[in-house]
Structure 1
Amino acid sequence: MAASNPAAISPVWAKYQACISKPFVPRCLELESILANSSQKDLSSLLPYILENIFGCGPEPGWPLDTLSKSHGVEFDVVTKFLGPEGPLLNFVYKLQLDTYLTYEFPFASLPGPTRHMIEDGSLPMFYVNKLQYQGYSKPVLTLGAFEFYMFHFCHMLVCPSWQSKQLNWNNMADVVYPFLLDKYLHYFLPLNKKSLPKFPLSPASVRSSMMQSPTSTKHSPGSGTQTRSRSRLGLLKANLLSPQKSHIQSPSAEKLEAEIWWSETFVQIVAEFWLHQNTHDVERGITTHSLESFMPSNNHVRLVRLLLKHLHYFVNSVEPEIVASPYSTAETAPLDEFKRSLLPMLLQKKIYCYLRHGFERWPLDSSFRLMLETWLTFIQPWRYKDPENISQQHKETERVDDVWFPFIRDNFLFYSAMFEEFVQRAKRMHLTSLQHAYIIFRVAKVFSLPGFPQMLREVERLMYNSGYRQHQDLGGSCIAPDLTAILRVQISDLERPDFQYINLFGRQTDAEMQHLLRQIHAAKSALEATVQEPEKKSEKSGFAAFFDMSSYFEDNSKAYGDMSVVEVKKVINHLEQTVTHFCQLFGMKPNEQAMFIPQSPGDTSRISGQRSMIGNMSLGDQTSLMNTSMASLPSTPDHKMTSHGPELTEAGRFQLMNGLKKFDLTYQGDPDLQPIRSFENKTLVRVLHKLSDCLNKMFHTEMERLCSRPDLIGKMSQVYLSAPISPSKVPSSPIQREVFEQLTRPRISLRFLGSYQTLIYLIIVYFALKYLAGFGPIGYLMFLVLCTIVYGLFRALTLNKLKDIKSN
Structure 2
Amino acid sequence: MSQLMPPENLSSRVLSVLSLPLLERIQELSILFDRCSLRQIQEIYPHIVHSVFGINGNPLGWGLRTTTLENNPLQFQVLHQFFGICGSWMHLCHRLLADQCKFELDVSLLPAKFVSMLQAGQNPMFYGDLINMDPLRNQLGTLSLNAFDFYIIHFVLYALQPLHSINPIAMQIHNVRSKTVYLKLVSEYLNNFLPLFPDARIEPVHFSSGVKAPQPLPVQALQPLRQPRYLKIPSSFLNGGNVSGVGGSSTSNASAGNTSPQSSGASTSAARAYAWRSESVLHFFVDIWLRYDIESERHLPSSDFVRGVRTLVKQIHFFANGASQDHSSLCCLRKVSSSMVKSRIYAFICGLIDRWPLDSSLMVVLELWLSYIQPWRYTMAALNNKTSGLAYLPPISPCFDGFIIDNLIMYTHIFIQLLPRFERLDYTVYRNAFMLYRLATMFSQNDLIDRLQRYERLNAGNSYGFDSPQRQVNMMNKSLSPGVHWTPVVSTQFPKLFSEPMQLHMENFLLLISMSRNSILRDMAALRNQIAEKQRSDGFLINFFNKLFGESTQDEVTLREFSRIPEVLRQCIDAFCRTFNVDQANLSLHENMPEEACPPVSSITTQKFSFFDDSDSLDTSKLNPHQMSLNASNIQSTIDPALLPIQTNEWKPLVRLLHILSEKINKKYGSQIQAYYTRDDYCGKVARQLLYAPMTEQWFDKRSGNTDLCERLVPPRVCLRQLGSIPVLVTIGGALLIGQMLWGSPILGLFLLSSLVIGYNLMLALFS
* CA deviation profile, 1:47-67 (whole Å, cap 9, x unmatched): 111112222112245212234
Match for residue 329 of structure 2? 335
> Is 1:518 equivalent to 2:510 in the alignment?
yes
Are 1:108 and 1:140, in contact at CA under 8 Å, matched by a contact in 2?
yes
Are 1:66 and 1:176, in contact at CA under 8 Å, matched by a contact in 2?
yes
Q: Which amino acid aligns with 1:189?
A: F
Q: 1:479 to 1:221 in 2, by over 3 A?
A: farther
Match for residue 179 of structure 1? 183
Match for residue 223 of structure 1? 223
Match for residue 700 of structure 2? none
> Is 1:169 equivalent to 2:164 in the alignment?
no
> Is 1:442 equivalent to 2:437 in the alignment?
yes
Match for residue 320 of structure 2? 316
**Aligned sequence identity (%):** 22
Match for residue 270 of structure 1? 284
Are 2:84 and 2:188, in contact at CA under 8 Å, matched by a contact in 1?
yes
Match for residue 693 of structure 1? none
Q: 1:207 to 1:421 in 2, by over 3 A?
A: farther
Which of 12, 15, 24 pairs up with 2:22? 24
Match for residue 108 of structure 2? 109
Q: SS in structure 1 opposite 2:564?
A: helix
Match for residue 147 of structure 2? 146
Are 2:97 and 2:147, in contact at CA under 8 Å, matched by a contact in 1?
yes
Match for residue 84 of structure 1? 84
* Aligned counterparts of 2:412 and 2:321: Cα–Cα separation in 1: 23
Q: Which amino acid aligns with 1:317?
A: N
Runs of 5+ consecutive residues of structure 2 not aligned to the other structure: 215-219, 243-257, 531-535, 539-551, 611-621, 632-768
* Aligned counterparts of 1:373 and 1:298: Cα–Cα separation in 2: 14
Q: SS in structure 1 opposite 2:104?
A: strand
Q: Which amino acid aligns with 1:418?
A: H
Deviation at 1:305, TM superposition (A): 2.2
Are 1:169 and 1:299, in contact at CA under 8 Å, matched by a contact in 2?
no
Q: SS in structure 2 opposite 1:371?
A: helix
Match for residue 663 of structure 2? none
Deviation at 1:105, TM superposition (A): 2.4
* Aligned counterparts of 2:409 and 2:86: Cα–Cα separation in 1: 39
Are 2:517 and 2:566, in contact at CA under 8 Å, matched by a contact in 1?
yes
* Aligned counterparts of 2:626 and 2:313: Cα–Cα separation in 1: 43
Q: 1:152 to 1:391 in 2, by over 3 A?
A: same
Match for residue 64 of structure 1? 63
* Aligned counterparts of 1:507 and 1:494: Cα–Cα separation in 2: 29
Q: SS in structure 2 opposite 1:279?
A: coil
Are 1:637 and 1:664, in contact at CA under 8 Å, matched by a contact in 2?
no
Are 2:352 and 2:365, in contact at CA under 8 Å, matched by a contact in 1?
yes
Are 1:134 and 1:140, in contact at CA under 8 Å, matched by a contact in 2?
yes
Match for residue 497 of structure 2? 505
Q: 1:527 to 1:225 in 2, by over 3 A?
A: closer
Match for residue 765 of structure 2? none
* Aligned counterparts of 2:127 and 2:507: Cα–Cα separation in 1: 48
Which of 463, 486, 491 pairs up with 1:495? 486
* Aligned counterparts of 2:404 and 2:500: Cα–Cα separation in 1: 22
* Aligned counterparts of 1:469 and 1:122: Cα–Cα separation in 2: 31
Are 2:120 and 2:226, in contact at CA under 8 Å, matched by a contact in 1?
no
* Aligned counterparts of 1:230 and 1:394: Cα–Cα separation in 2: 42
Q: Which amino acid aligns with 1:276?
A: L
| Structure 1 residues 587-598: aligned runs within 5 Å | 587-593=580-586, 595=587
Match for residue 46 of structure 1? 44
* Aligned counterparts of 1:381 and 1:418: Cα–Cα separation in 2: 16
* Aligned counterparts of 1:537 and 1:173: Cα–Cα separation in 2: 35
Are 2:123 and 2:229, in contact at CA under 8 Å, matched by a contact in 1?
no
Alignment root-mean-square deviation, CA: 5.0
Match for residue 687 of structure 1? none
Deviation at 1:530, TM superposition (A): 3.8
Are 1:200 and 1:260, in contact at CA under 8 Å, matched by a contact in 2?
no
Which of 250, 274, 295 pairs up with 1:260? 274
Match for residue 306 of structure 2? 302
Q: SS in structure 2 opposite 1:49?
A: helix
Q: Which has the higher contact order (CA 8 A, sep 6+)?
A: 2
Q: SS in structure 1 opposite 2:471?
A: coil
* Aligned counterparts of 2:229 and 2:469: Cα–Cα separation in 1: 24
* Aligned counterparts of 1:651 and 1:379: Cα–Cα separation in 2: 34
Q: Which amino acid aligns with 2:401?
A: F
Q: 1:503 to 1:261 in 2, by over 3 A?
A: farther
TM-score, length basis structure 2: 0.62
* Aligned counterparts of 1:156 and 1:428: Cα–Cα separation in 2: 36
Which of 376, 380, 383 pairs up with 2:369? 376
Are 2:444 and 2:579, in contact at CA under 8 Å, matched by a contact in 1?
yes
TM-score, length basis structure 1: 0.59
Q: SS in structure 2 opposite 1:142?
A: strand
> Is 1:93 equivalent to 2:93 in the alignment?
yes
Deviation at 1:568, TM superposition (A): 3.5
Deviation at 1:274, TM superposition (A): 3.6
Q: 1:417 to 1:123 in 2, by over 3 A?
A: same
Match for residue 422 of structure 1? 417
* CA deviation profile, 1:443-474 (whole Å, cap 9, x unmatched): 1011110242211222333456556999xxxx
Q: 1:126 to 1:382 in 2, by over 3 A?
A: same
Which of 604, 607, 620 pairs up with 1:654? 607
* Aligned counterparts of 1:436 and 1:178: Cα–Cα separation in 2: 25
Q: SS in structure 2 opposite 1:44?
A: helix
* Aligned counterparts of 2:471 and 2:582: Cα–Cα separation in 1: 28
Are 2:527 and 2:559, in contact at CA under 8 Å, matched by a contact in 1?
no
> Is 1:356 equivalent to 2:355 in the alignment?
no
Deviation at 1:403, TM superposition (A): 3.7
* Aligned counterparts of 2:186 and 2:628: Cα–Cα separation in 1: 55
Match for residue 53 of structure 2? 55
* Aligned counterparts of 1:635 and 1:340: Cα–Cα separation in 2: 58
Q: 1:590 to 1:264 in 2, by over 3 A?
A: same
In our comparison, the structure showing a higher alpha carbon Rg is 1
Deviation at 1:579, TM superposition (A): 1.5
* Aligned counterparts of 1:665 and 1:300: Cα–Cα separation in 2: 30
Runs of 5+ consecutive residues of structure 1 not aligned to the other structure: 1-6, 209-219, 282-291, 323-332, 539-551, 596-623, 640-648, 668-809
* CA deviation profile, 1:579-623 (whole Å, cap 9, x unmatched): 221111112222233x4xxxxxxxxxxxxxxxxxxxxxxxxxxxx
* Aligned counterparts of 1:146 and 1:505: Cα–Cα separation in 2: 49
Q: 1:279 to 1:243 in 2, by over 3 A?
A: farther
Deviation at 1:39, TM superposition (A): 1.9
Q: SS in structure 1 opposite 2:331?
A: helix
Deviation at 1:176, TM superposition (A): 4.0
Q: SS in structure 2 opposite 1:140?
A: strand
When structure 1 is superposed on structure 2, of 372-381 and 166-175 the one drifting more is 166-175
* Aligned counterparts of 1:409 and 1:518: Cα–Cα separation in 2: 26
Are 1:360 and 1:372, in contact at CA under 8 Å, matched by a contact in 2?
yes
Q: Which amino acid aligns with 2:387?
A: S
Q: SS in structure 2 opposite 1:452?
A: helix
Deviation at 1:140, TM superposition (A): 3.3
Deviation at 1:364, TM superposition (A): 0.6
Are 1:257 and 1:335, in contact at CA under 8 Å, matched by a contact in 2?
yes
